[in-house]
Amino acid sequence: MTSELLQQVRVIDPVAKSDRIADVEICDGVIKAVQDNISEWSNDTQVRDCRGLVLGAGLIDLYSHSGEPGFETRETLSSLLEAAAAGGFTRLCILPDTMPILDNLAAIALIQQKRRELTNPLPKMYVWGALTIGVQGQQMTELAELAKGSVGFADGKPVANLALLRRLLEYLKPVGKPVALWCCDRQLVGNGVMREGTDSIILGLPGNPHFSETTAIAAVIELVAAIGTPVHIMRVSTARSVQLIAQAKAQGLPITASSSWMHLLLDTKSHYNYDPNLRLEPPLGNPRDRLALLEGVRSGVIDAIALDLAPYTYEEKTVAFAEAPPGVIGFELALGLLWQQLVANGQWSALELWRSISLNPANCLQQTIKEICPGNPAELTLFAPQLSWLVEAKTLKSLATNTPWLGQKITGRVVQTWVT
């Protein structure tokens, strides 16, 4: 039997909507006690002074890219899950654009078998089943079959054919599983590599207009209004998108949405050093977009923060900005950076942050998380908000290092994760 006592830790419970100082005892992966002060414990209990530390519900990532299978030089399942655990994540969902693509039960069974072969206490891993097959995504997958092995349905690319998207939503309505869509019109994107605006003109980089996203979101909203299938809108990145989603929710449409953590922290002002690690898709928004996203997440119009991790090798990312593949890592960095920028300076409460990166992602996945109370599983994250550390390849669990914070010292780090 293993027993741990965390003394005077700040307990953030988004389910109970509580934020308080308490002693927490954990025994064999189960919460044994949560009290103002625990004065008695067994001789074999590991006692830890946790003043200044934060204990919260385990973090949940809605969607990220895995290197394995197919691109193990970028990231293996083992390194991906170890990085997630090091960042406080207890559940993560993998997008289907691996190699082979997760468009059939055999491919899903293969990646789940690889996960079962990893014996360390690592996060739970769920898989999004592909919506479409083919290079152009012009054909539906066997949706009913994929539903047996997937957390829901998504593609790593936009569904460009609206007639096909209509049929997909009609077929999926009785299935009852989450459907996540990336709303983007590739024809309107053109060769754009950063958000169109004053900064893109000054930097001489091709601009991607905000309406490449909003026209696609408007089309999805119309389909949802007509068909009624609940939809999760991924990768929201513009102020106008937040407005459209707010209007749809006000009309009672079954829509949820998420935005990437990077789009909450940075905007086009960060592009002036042409760092290829900031080449993202969708691109970072203009300052007005970032402020709208922050308010959208805080208010609940945007339900959740997603990591949307995309690992790449050093060689793939060490090219000119416009030539770099879009994507960034961040499991081990996200909580510390979000805390410092949003909570430490008083913009958000700790509960607002934890709700958007733990409770709400679970709700979007039609899952639940438990209160931090006796008898419940210890699916928990212990976080040191004042701990400074240097982001280097040797201090990261991830194989990939494509992050703009590489070589920099940041404040805030997860010190332990309990996975059930």
Name residues whose C-beta falls within 8 Å of residue 346's C-beta, 6 or more positions apart in sequence.
none
Residues 36 and 161 in one domain: no
Q: 228 and 265, same structural domain?
A: yes
pLDDT of residue 145: 95
- Map residue 410 onto helix, strand or coil: strand
The verdict on residue 261 lying in a domain is yes
Domain membership of residue 13 as a residue range? 3-54+375-418
Cβ neighbours of 17 (radius 10 Å): 11
Q: What is the pLDDT of residues 265-312, one digit of tens each?
A: 999 999 999 999 999 999 999 999 999 999 999 999 999 999 999 999
Q: What is the DSSP string of 86-128?
A: HTTEEEEEE-S-SSS-S-SHHHHHHHHHHHHT--S---EEEEE
Domain count for the chain: 2
Whether 372 has a pLDDT exceeding 80, the answer reads yes
Pick from 186, 301, 184, 159: nearest CA to 239: 301
Convert the pLDDT of each residue in 55-64 to its tens digit: 999 999 999 9
Domain boundary among 364, 384, 401: 364
CA angle 52, 55, 60 (to 5 degrees): 135
Q: Is 7 part of any domain?
A: yes
- With respect to residue 370, please indicate whether it lies within any of the assigned structural domains: no
Query: pTM of the full predicted structure?
Result: 0.97
CB neighbourhood size of 345 (10 A): 9
How far apart, in whole angstroms, are the C-alpha atoms of residue 338 and residue 349?
11
The 10s digit of each residue's pLDDT in 31-44 is: 999 999 999 998 89
Whether residues 257 and 126 share a domain: the answer is yes
Selection from 305, 325, 306, 322 nearest residue 314 by Cα:
325
* Tokens standing for residue 402: 């494509």
Q: Which residues are catalytic?
A: 308
Kindly tell me if the per-residue pLDDT of 124 is higher than 80.
yes
pLDDT in tens, 130-149: 999 976 778 999 999 999 99
Q: Is residue 28 part of a domain?
A: yes
Percent of the chain with pLDDT over 90: 96
CATH number (domain holding residue 26): 2.30.40.10
Residue 214 contacts residue 245 (beta carbons within 8 Å):
no
pLDDT tops 90 at residue 95:
yes
379 found inside a domain: yes
> Do 77 and 188 sit in the same domain of this protein?
yes
Do both 207 and 337 map to the same domain?
Answer: yes
pLDDT at position 394 is 97
The span from the CA of 48 to the CA of 157, in Å, is: 46
In this predicted structure, what is the pLDDT of residue 287? 98
Same-domain check for residues 183 and 307: yes
Q: Is residue 162 part of a domain?
A: yes
Tell whether 369 is covered by a domain.
Answer: no
For residues 383 and 400, membership in a common domain is answered with yes
Residues 216 and 310 in one domain: yes
Residues 172, 243 within the same domain: yes
Average pLDDT over residues 94-99: 95
**69 shares its domain with 50:** no
What is the model's pLDDT at position 288?
A: 98
- pLDDT, tens digit, 9 for 90 and up, residues 188-236: 999 999 999 999 999 999 999 999 999 999 999 999 999 999 999 999 9
Same-domain pairing of 250 and 275: yes
The pLDDT, as a whole number, for residue 65 is 97
Q: What is the CATH number of the domain that holds 336?
A: 3.20.20.140
Residue 117, pLDDT above cutoff 90: yes
DSSP state of 179: B
Q: Which residues contact 341 (CB under 8 A, 6 or more apart)?
A: 264, 265, 347
Torsion sign (Cα): 358, 362, 363, 367: negative
Say whether both 403 and 352 belong to one domain: no
pLDDT at 1 > cutoff 80 = no
Residue 122 lies in a domain: yes
Cα–Cα distance, 84 to 360 (Å, whole number) = 18
